[in-house]
């Protein structure tokens, strides 16, 4: 079957070879094994169900949360000579019936279905009458409570599988599965671990950068000025911020579009098309923009604010460089962004356990901003890849400042946290270390601790940043919601015993103001 699949690849898409992951996935699907494919954005997941849909006797159902893009996807398939249709809430009952009729008559090979439709008993009944050979679950992480985009309607998919006619094989696809998410998907959809295909997450053409302590407006303006006509996306946290950055760049004469949930569907479509067809150079957007957009020549993705977790970040940043050409992913970090994200988690209607989880994921995102190790390796490690090497391209790999021994300072911080019984947050620990006369410090009698004032030659800001670094380097854990408590990890003991040293890059030298520019 693989040989035939290869012919179809050439015929419909014009490609000569499958990528490694694709081949492996197709082999399993052709052997009727329920399979999970974990591939980075741009890795070529769609072909893994589109090609089988041409070879299987029954129809291929694709569950996809990307309702607004279904029409585009279907149009693209039609153009490639693959008969496809979609069913979602934008259609009338009559239209749905007509399409189902068409599927039954064998007009379509592929049918995209919005997960919400699975909540309708009438619709499920209709589906049961169809011969289905393959059920593809796109964005499968939506099925897991631990995923970053849980959708309750995805929980109906396991039931659907058992009700469908034709004993379909299941193919789950996602770009972002941590080990927990991967386990959830496998167990819900009866996928054996040997049928999980994970291709390398590393994107060799991307270079990651974290920029701290810069005025973001000035940075963005200068970056665009320096990078001429290259195409890029700027992600901002809120609609208001999108509007603000958009206005600012337009005033500078940059060819810029905007995209967020507050625009009408027509406006959004126009903005998106103009960007995809290279009529606009830069797109300023909230995270509503990008899912499923296939624009290969995006040279940079700048995050004006830190996103809420690594999954979202890697997915959004990964929209750069789909064509394999060198591209940059830049995150502009300010500590205030943490508060905003904490606030959003607390405001949400998630239950307490879920909120805890989200806070932990946010902390991993914050640690990314403070780490001094390879940024790409940090991300890959987060997704469960233990075997990583430094990329040599990111802002940390390129940072050639020398590392200095900060073991003694680290020991001071660790013992202070320990003496405070690991029950206080960063602000309080910092105040004790610098010897603050704050009333709260006295109330808890912390001024009597032997660690009180141990770092009195430092400013609170310096100590606070050092604590952030120690958390990023996995010596400290910050857990517990909006006011996280500092705790020591198992990496601390060898440091306290003097068996290992803690190193940190030297502080940057202050910039010397040039004499020509008074």
Would you count residue 174 as binding ligand ADP (CB under 6 A)?
no
Q: Which of 21, 44, 65, 168 binds ligand ADP (CB under 6 A)?
A: 44
Give the binding range for ligand ADP (CB under 6 A) out of 35-43, 67-75, 447-455, 484-492.
35-43
Residue nearest to ligand ADP (CB): 44
Nearer to ligand ADP, 60 or 367 (CB): 60
CA–CA distance from 248 to each of 252, 256, 347, 396, 475 (Å)?
7, 10, 30, 30, 41
Q: Which is nearer to ligand ADP, 18 or 452 (CB)?
A: 18
Between vectors from CA 298 to CA 230 and to CA 224, what angle results, nearest 5°? 35
Stretch binding ligand ADP (CB under 6 A), from 42-50, 146-154, 419-427, 445-453: 42-50
Neighbours of 341 (CB within 10 A): 21
Q: Which is nearer to ligand ADP, 237 or 283 (CB)?
A: 283
What is the spatial distance between Cα 293 and Cα 259, in angstroms, rounded to a whole number?
A: 13
Alpha helices, H only, 196-322: 216-226, 239-251, 265-276, 310-317
Q: Which stretch binds ligand ADP (CB under 6 A): 37-45, 390-398, 466-474, 491-499?
A: 37-45
Paired with 84 in beta bridges are 110
Size of the site for ligand ADP (CB under 6 A): 15
Nearer to ligand ADP, 173 or 245 (CB): 173
By CB under 6 A, is residue 6 in contact with ligand ADP? no
Binding residue (CB under 6 A) for ligand ADP from 4, 7, 15, 212: 15
Six-digit token string for 246: 């958009």
CB-CB contact of 350 with 339 (8 Å): no
Instruction: Between 76 and 217, name the residue whose CB sits nearer to ligand ADP.
Output: 76
Cα-based distances in Å from 284 to 19, 235, 259, 311 = 32, 6, 6, 20
Q: Yes or no: say if 492 and 498 are a contact pair by the CB < 8 Å rule.
A: no
Task: Report the residue number, 50 or 341, with the smaller CB distance to ligand ADP.
Answer: 50
Q: Look at strands 485-488 and 476-479 and give their pairing.
A: antiparallel
- Using DSSP, state whether 360 is helix, strand or coil: helix
* CB nearer ligand ADP, residue 142 or residue 433: 142
By beta-carbon proximity to ligand ADP, the closer residue of 69 and 467 is 69
Residue 107 CB neighbours (<10 A): 12
41: contact with ligand ADP by CB under 6 A = yes
**Among residues 6, 12, 19, 230, which is the contact residue for ligand ADP, using CB under 6 A?**
19
Q: Which two tokens stand for residue 415?
A: 């013992």
Using the minimum distance from each CB to ligand ADP, give the nearer residue, 258 or 322. 322
Do the beta carbons of residue 316 and residue 301 sit within 8 Å? Answer: yes
How far apart are the C-alpha atoms of 88 and 60, rounded to whole Å?
16
Pick the binder of ligand ADP from 5, 38, 39, 189 (CB under 6 A): 39
Nearer CB in complex with ligand ADP: 53/305: 53
Neighbour count for residue 146 (Cβ, 10 Å) = 18
Q: Provide, rounded to whole angstroms, the least separation between the CB of residue 23 and ligand ADP.
A: 9
- Of 41-49, 108-116, 219-227, 349-357, which part binds ligand ADP (CB under 6 A)? 41-49
Give the orientation angle of helix 352-370 with respect to helix 460-472, to 10 degrees: 100
Using the contact rule CB under 6 A, the part of the chain among 26-34, 39-47, 333-341, 374-382 near ligand ADP is 39-47
CB of 229 to ligand ADP, least distance (A): 22
Beta strands 231-235; 403-405: pairing state: unpaired
Six-digit token string for 363 = 């902390």
The tally of CA atoms less than 13 A away on the side-chain side of residue 3 is 0
Where does this chain touch ligand ADP (CB under 6 A) — which range of 45-53, 326-334, 353-361, 506-514? Answer: 45-53
CA end-to-end distance (rounded Å), the chain: 72
In the window 115-134, what residues touch ligand ADP (CB under 6 A)? none
The counts of H helices and E strands in the chain are 20, 17
Task: Answer yes or no whether residue 45 interacts with ligand ADP by CB under 6 A.
Answer: yes
Which residues, numbered 288-327, are part of the site for ligand ADP (CB under 6 A)? 294, 322
Q: Which of 5, 26, 34, 46 binds ligand ADP (CB under 6 A)?
A: 46
Q: Does 62 bind ligand ADP (CB under 6 A)?
A: no
Quick one: 293 or 420, whose CB is closer to ligand ADP?
Answer: 293
- Site track 430-459 with ligand ADP (rule: CB under 6 A), x = hit: ------------------------------
For residue 486 the two structure tokens come to 């500092």
Other CB atoms within 10 A of residue 350 CB: 15
CB atoms within 10 A of CB 316: 21
Part in contact with ligand ADP (CB under 6 A); list of ranges 36-44, 76-84, 303-311, 408-416: 36-44
Single residue of 5, 8, 18, 203 touching ligand ADP by CB under 6 A: 18
Answer whether 299's CB lies under 8 Å from 325's CB: yes
Q: How far is CA 388 from CA 272, 330, 358, 398, 463, in A?
A: 36, 21, 25, 17, 31
Question: Contact residues for ligand ADP (CB under 6 A)?
Answer: 15, 17-19, 22, 39, 41-47, 294, 322
């Amino acid at each position: 079957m693989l040989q035939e699949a290869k012919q179809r690849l050439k015929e419909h898409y014009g490609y000569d070879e499958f990528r490694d992951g694709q081949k492996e996935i197709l082999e399993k699907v052709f052997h009727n094994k329920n399979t999970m494919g974990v591939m980075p954005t741009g890795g070529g997941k769609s072909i893994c169900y589109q090609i089988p849909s041409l070879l299987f006797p029954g129809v291929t159902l694709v569950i996809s949360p990307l309702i607004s893009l279904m029409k585009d996807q279907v149009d693209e398939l039609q153009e490639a000579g693959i008969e496809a249709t979609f069913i979602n809430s934008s259609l009338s009952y009559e239209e749905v019936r007509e399409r189902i009729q068409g599927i039954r008559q064998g007009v379509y090979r592929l049918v995209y279905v919005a997960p919400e439709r699975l909540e309708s008993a009438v619709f499920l009944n209709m589906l049961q009458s169809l011969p289905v050979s393959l059920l593809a679950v796109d964005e499968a992480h939506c099925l897991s409570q631990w995923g970053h985009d849980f959708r309750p309607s995805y929980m109906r998919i396991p039931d659907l599988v058992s009700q469908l006619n034709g004993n379909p094989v299941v193919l789950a696809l996602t770009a972002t599965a941590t080990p927990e998410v991967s386990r959830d998907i496998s167990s819900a959809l009866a996928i054996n671990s040997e049928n999980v295909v994970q291709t390398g997450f590393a994107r060799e053409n991307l270079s990651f950068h974290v920029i701290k302590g810069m005025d973001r407006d000035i940075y963005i303006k200068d970056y665009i000025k320096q990078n001429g006509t290259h195409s890029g996306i700027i992600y901002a946290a809120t609609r208001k911020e999108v509007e603000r950055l958009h206005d600012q760049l337009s005033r500078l004469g940059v060819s810029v579009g905007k995209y967020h949930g507050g625009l009408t569907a027509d406006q959004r479509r126009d903005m998106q098309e103009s960007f995809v067809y290279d009529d606009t150079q830069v797109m300023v957007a909230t995270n509503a923009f990008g899912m499923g957009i296939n624009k290969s020549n995006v040279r940079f993705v700048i995050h004006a604010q830190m996103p809420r977790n690594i999954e979202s970040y890697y997915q959004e940043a990964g929209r750069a460089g789909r064509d394999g050409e060198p591209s940059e992913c830049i995150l502009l970090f300010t500590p205030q962004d943490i508060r905003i994200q904490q606030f959003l988690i607390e405001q949400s209607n998630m239950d307490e356990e879920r909120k805890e989880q989200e806070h932990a994921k946010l902390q991993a995102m914050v640690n990314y901003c403070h780490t001094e190790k390879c940024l790409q390796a940090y991300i890959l490690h987060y997704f469960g890849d233990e075997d990583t090497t430094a990329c040599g391209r990111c802002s940390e790999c390129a940072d050639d400042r020398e590392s200095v021994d900060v073991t003694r300072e680290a020991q001071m911080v660790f013992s202070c946290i320990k003496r405070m019984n690991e029950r206080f947050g960063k602000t309080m620990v910092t105040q004790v270390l610098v010897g603050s006369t704050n009333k709260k410090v006295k109330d808890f009698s912390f001024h009597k601790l032997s660690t009180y004032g141990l770092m009195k030659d430092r400013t609170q800001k310096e100590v606070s940043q050092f604590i952030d670094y120690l958390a990023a380097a996995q010596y400290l854990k910050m857990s517990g919601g909006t006011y996280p408590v500092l705790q020591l990890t198992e990496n601390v003991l060898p440091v306290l015993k003097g068996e290992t040293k803690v190193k940190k890059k030297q502080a940057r030298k202050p910039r010397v103001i040039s004499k020509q520019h008074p």
